[in-house]
Amino acid sequence: MFKKLFGKEEKIDKEVLVSPVTGQVVDITEVPDPTFSEKMMGDGIAFKPTDGTFVAPVDGEVVNLFPTLHAIGIKSKAGVEYLIHIGLDTVMLDGEGFTAHVKQGDHVKAGDSLVTVDLDFVSQKAKTITPLVVTSQVASLAKNIDQSVVKGETEILTVNL
């Protein structure tokens, strides 16, 4: 209310993201696809999931849920856009093995369930390594990589705006 009255907005200078999945976190340069490893879409990190439940890494809005359910775009409250690309070559599965728990336009809190994936099924037909890309321009990223992570709990990325 005071923001509206006095024109003062809270300045957000960083966002801290939690892991969207349980597993191992690695640098994005380890993703065996140049689109991600060469940071063509933006910088980020990647996950080797051990569990098929993917959750929101940050509070925000689901701005894109691909019809094949393999990729989710989230715009945070600070206006930063993130892409979670579940696996590689998973678009070819046409949604098989994926169950969405959100739809485009939904507002989510960090830790809210996004998509459940049958990892055994997907791993037989595609790669399960999952990039998380910051697709907006930001000042810098601080990555917590090369560690085991728990979905919705482990802090994995600090985005400086």
Active site residues: 85
**131, 148, 158, 150: which is closest to 47 by C-alpha?**
131
- Round to whole Å and give the CA distance between 35 and 7: 42
Distance of alpha carbon 11 from alpha carbon 103, whole angstroms: 29
CB 57 within 8 A of CB 110: yes
Beta bridge partners of 16: 158
